Amino acid sequence: MPDTALVGPTLAEFEAARERVSHAIKVTPMESSSYLTEVLGTPVFLKCENLQRTGSYKIRGAYNRLAKLTDEEKTRGVVAASAGNHAQGVALAARALGIKATIFMPVGVALPKLQATRDYGAEVVLRGHTVDEPLRAAAEFARTTGAVLIHPFDHADVVAGQGTLGLEILDQVPNVDTVIVPIGGGGLISGVASAIKQRCALDGRTVRIIGVQAANAAAYPVSLEKGVPSEITVLPTIADGIAVSKPGILNFEIVRDMVDEVVTVTDGDTAQALLMLLERAKLVVEPAGAVGVGAILSGQIKNSGTTVAILSGGNIDPMMMERVISHGLAASERYLKLRIPLPDRPGQLARTAAIIAESNANVVEVLHTRHGSGMQISQVELELHIETRGPEHAEQVLARLRDEGYEPRIAF
C-alpha cells in the first residue's frame, strides 16, 4: 500500500504510537468464545478492551495525543468534553504526563464516570444536559485560556493511538480473517482498520474490517452513501458511548478507504449481547462495547473466517446494567409480561399461578386490577411477569395457559 495514496497515519506512525503508549496502557486479553464460535460456525475471539485502564480503549488515543504535545502546549494544559470514556482517558493521560486537565461533562453524567474522572486528577466542570453543551463550553475554554482542546476522535494522533489496538490483535490472533469494531465518531475503527490493512499488506494478505453502529445513531451508512460526512438526528439508544451525530472528517476518509462493511444493530440486539457476555463469558461490557457481539448474534456477520470482536469498553453504570439485563431477558423471551383476563371470582389467581409453576416457570411480579379498557364488568385483569428458559419454554407456558381456557396476551 503506497504512502502516496494513504490517508491518516502511516504504519511507522502506528508502530511509534505503540511504543509511546506502552508506558500508560496494558495489553488486554484476547479470549476465545466457544458460544459465539458455535453461533458463527467459525473461531471467534473477544478483544477485551473493557479490561483496559480507565475501562476502555480511549486511553490509547488520549495518551498518544498528549504525549506528542510540545512543552509549550503542555504548560497551557488541555481541555476536553465527554460524558464518559474520553473524559477518563484524557484525565489519566494528563496525570501520567504532568499536564493540567479540565473536563466539561453534562450535569446528568453517571456518578461512577464523574467520580472516576475526578479521581484521575482532572478538574471537572458540569455544564448543560447534553454532550453538545459541554463541547461548546470546552471550545470556549480553549479559546479564552489557551488550553489545547483534545478531540475524542478526529485527529491523526488520536487515530494512531487507537490503531495500536489493531497491532495487538494481529500479534494475538495472527490468522485473523475478520475484525468487528464498534463505531461512534470513527476514531477506533479508522485506527484499527488502517493499522491492520497496512501491516497485512506487507504479507500480501487481507483482513476484512466490519464496523457496527447503533441503529438509532448510524451516521456512517448515510455518510458513505452520500460520499461526505453527514449529520443525522441521533435517537435514544442504550449505546450512548457511540451515539455520535456526524463522523469525523479524517475518520470518514479512512473508513471510506479501509473498512469493508458497516452494519447496524438494535438496542434489543445489544441488550442480548450484554446478557450473553455476562452469562457465558463472565465479562462486564458497556452497551457501546457490545455492539459487535450483537451483530454476530443477530446474524449480520457471515462467512467471516477466524473473527475478532472488539469489546471497546466496560464502563456501565450499575443502574443501567439492571435495566439492560431486564431488556436482554425480555428480548430473548426469558422474561415475559403477560396480561390475562379472568372471571371475577375467588381462586383464579391461585390457579393461573399453579399452571405457570407446573410449567416450571417462575412468577416474579403480579398486578391484579378490575380497571382496564375492553374489560367486562364481571372480569378482572391479571398482569404477570414471569421468567422462562427461552422462546421454546415461553411458548410452552402460553400453550398450557390456553389449554386451560385462559387467553394470555404478551404485553410490551
Cβ partners under 8 Å of residue 244, min gap 6:
153, 184, 185, 217, 219, 234
The answer to whether the CB of 156 falls within 8 A of the CB of 190 is: no
User: φ and ψ at 255, to 5 degrees?
Assistant: -60, -45
User: What is the model's pLDDT at position 108?
Assistant: 81
User: What is the model's pLDDT at position 376?
Assistant: 62
User: φ and ψ at 104, to 5 degrees?
Assistant: -95, 130
Domains and CATH numbers, the chain: 3-55+155-329 (3.40.50.1100), 58-149 (3.40.50.1100), 333-410 (3.30.70.260)
Name the residue among 391, 369, 394 with its Cα closest to residue 379.
Answer: 369
Span 11-56, pLDDT tens digits: 999 999 999 999 999 999 999 999 999 999 999 999 999 999 999 9
User: What is the model's pLDDT at position 281?
Assistant: 95
User: What is the model's pLDDT at position 274?
Assistant: 93
Question: The pTM is what?
Answer: 0.84
User: What is the model's pLDDT at position 284?
Assistant: 95
User: What is the model's pLDDT at position 3?
Assistant: 45
Strand partners, 366: 384
CA distance 402 to 412: 19
User: φ and ψ at 265, to 5 degrees?
Assistant: -130, 150
Span 94-129, pLDDT tens digits: 999 999 999 999 888 878 889 999 999 999 999 987
**Stretch (H or E) spanning 387:** strand 379-387
The cell numbers describing 371, all together, are 380497571
Low-confidence ranges of the chain (pLDDT < 50): 1-4
